[in-house]
Amino acid sequence: MAEHRDKFILAIDHGTSGVKTSLMTTRGEMVGHEREPTPIHYLPGGGAEQDPDDWWNALLETGGRLIGRGLVPAEDVAAVCVSSTFSSTVAVDSSGRHLMNCLTWMDSRGAPYIKEVVGGFPSFDGYCLYKMLPWIYKSGGGPQLSGKDDVAHVLFIKRERPEIYSRTHMFMGSKDYLNLRLSGEFAASYDSMSLFWVTNSRDPGRPYYDDYLLRLSGLDKNKLPPMRRSIDVLGYLKPEVAGRLGLKKDVKVIVGSPDHQAACVGSGAVRDFEGHLYVGTSSWIQCVVPFKKTDVLHSIASLPTSIPGKYYCANEQDAAGGCLTFLIGNILYHRNEVRSEDPPADVFERVEKIAARTPAGSGGLIFTPWLNGERTPVDDPNARAGFHNLGLTSNLDHMVRAVLEGVAYNNRWALGYVEKFIGRKMDGLNMIGGGALSPSWRQIFADVTNREIRQIKDPVQANARGAAFIASAALGYITFEEIPGLVKVENVSRPEPGNVKIYNDLYGEFLQIYRRNAPIYRRLNLKK
């Protein structure tokens, strides 16, 4: 085991809403952090784009500020490791410059082209059985019809931005793009390429590009980066980048992982079948599994993770904390002729007080959280959010709590299929992400899922902690087996029997709302 005393990792957590950069010890303890927001641009037809320069400038700004605070000697920073949004696709030229905005994980404009690729006779749920059987056998799953996977993003560019496609040297995930800017090296990790759906991952330790899947999807292997392990050393900081950050030129850049996999490591739930719940802009239920398996109907598959030789499975919800942001910005503090003030600095504390004083069940009001459609446990880009059962006695307090409850109902839906996938109950979930900071939301999750919810210390830093652990394992400072003992639980929320009964009844109605309204959503929102 290498000596790691007084060594530190610069951990980059690039999320949808911004970049959080942290200084972490090799054992996952946070020394300091900085944050810089980045905008997202929503476009007609399901577009959701970001400018990669915004990410890069935020990375340099937060990293420079953090190192400049002098919290640790710059020469003691051993490595940089990035965690970034999964399935956010960047087209770059041979010099590494991006050629257009990134198509983020919320961008669904490639859906028509995916349907062309996977469709055909005999068909089941929009998929040609003859095509999907080898896809599932080789990659563990296949493209979602929602068009939010990397493969759909590439096909959208190929069909609707042909001039960009012809100039593209490589299509890269957002994490791998940032690594390129840091090190100058074109490369991806096995896990970051999963949602291009062209890798044969039957051996989780060494996936490879599969010629048959490439032909089936219409992707060009020459436009995809070489793959490495998440724990490999990619290279060193470029001298000009090291200078901007205030670091030495010998700082290593670790290949790293996307947000799902980094969060798994940072949550401490790295042993088989141990689950974690992430609640940020999106939300997911995830656990490590020792087998390869696929649930086609509910979009769950065993996919490579950052832990060498291991798979993970997950069910991801498109909008979670994003629903709360929508509530604040579009309803509570929407600027118009009636209301002109911006949300107060303590708006989340105010929301917490409202949720805490409002009885469980929100007076029978149910919120459905499908603001941008849904990907799991149903793959439905046409589903939409709404408040159901509003009455004359309903008020804003009920609406606030109903939003938190609606996100939890959807997570319970996802949890059920993950537990069916692994064949056991996950009796306790490690909770991370910004949503874990809310005592009321933690209790709602405990009551709705009837599971113990364990809030991990510094839950917002879980992705950065995961990146730091990956870097520490890469450099030989720790092993993955040590991680559960390095992650501390700060708060535990246990189900309250009275609330569990209330939520059981409302959850059943939540499911009925989707099933009965899905045809209406389709008619109102179907993309031609």
> Mind listing the pLDDT tens digit for each residue in 408-435?
999 999 999 999 999 999 989 999 999 9
The CA distance from 144 to 113, in Å, is 11
The yes-or-no verdict on residue 3 having pLDDT over 50 is no
Residue 380 is classified by DSSP as: B
Cα angle: 10, vertex 289, 138; to 5 degrees: 100
Per residue in 289-314, pLDDT tens? 999 998 888 889 899 999 999 999 99
pLDDT at residue 125 in the model = 84
Share of the chain above pLDDT 70, in %: 99
Collect all residues with Cβ–Cβ distance below 8 Å to 25 and sequence separation of at least 6. 7, 8, 9, 31, 468
The CA distance from 417 to 491, in Å, is 26
Residue 398 — very low, low, confident or very high, per pLDDT cuts 50/70/90?
very high
Lowest mean pLDDT of 84-98, 160-174, 323-337, name the range: 323-337
Residue 50, SS3 per DSSP = strand
pLDDT at residue 354 in the model = 97
Per residue in 206-243, pLDDT tens? 999 999 999 999 999 999 999 999 999 999 999 999 99
Q: Which parts of 146-267 fold into alpha helices (H)?
A: 150-160, 162-167, 174-183, 211-217, 239-245, 259-267
Say which residue the tokens 């890469």 belong to: 474
CB 129 within 8 A of CB 122: yes
pLDDT at residue 5 in the model = 60
pLDDT at residue 527 in the model = 59
Burial profile 190-227: b = 16 or more Cβ within 10 angstroms, e = fewer: bbbbbbbbbbbbeebeebebbeebbebbebeeebbbeb
Average pLDDT for 46-62: 97
Per residue in 238-271, pLDDT tens? 999 999 999 999 999 999 999 999 999 999 999 9
Average pLDDT for 133-151: 92
The CA-to-CA distance between both ends of the chain, in Å, stands at 58
The yes-or-no verdict on residue 339 having pLDDT over 80 is no
The CA distance from 241 to 96, in Å, is 15
Q: Which residues pair with 91 in a beta bridge?
A: 171
Per residue in 86-141, pLDDT tens? 999 999 999 999 999 999 999 999 999 999 999 999 998 889 999 999 999 999 88
Q: Which parts of 4-149 fold into alpha helices (H)?
A: 52-68, 111-118, 129-139
Closest CA to 484 of 461, 466, 471, 467: 466
The CA distance from 111 to 147, in Å, is 4
pLDDT at residue 342 in the model = 86
pLDDT at residue 438 in the model = 97
pLDDT at residue 218 in the model = 96
Burial (CB count within 10 angstroms: exposed 0-12, middle 13-18, buried 19+), residue 285:
buried
Token pair recorded at residue 357: 């004083």
The CA distance from 252 to 249, in Å, is 8
pLDDT at residue 508 in the model = 98
pLDDT at residue 452 in the model = 98
pLDDT at residue 2 in the model = 43
The CA distance from 151 to 144, in Å, is 9
Closest CA to 305 of 454, 140, 443: 140
The CA distance from 196 to 89, in Å, is 10
Residue 299, SS3 per DSSP = coil
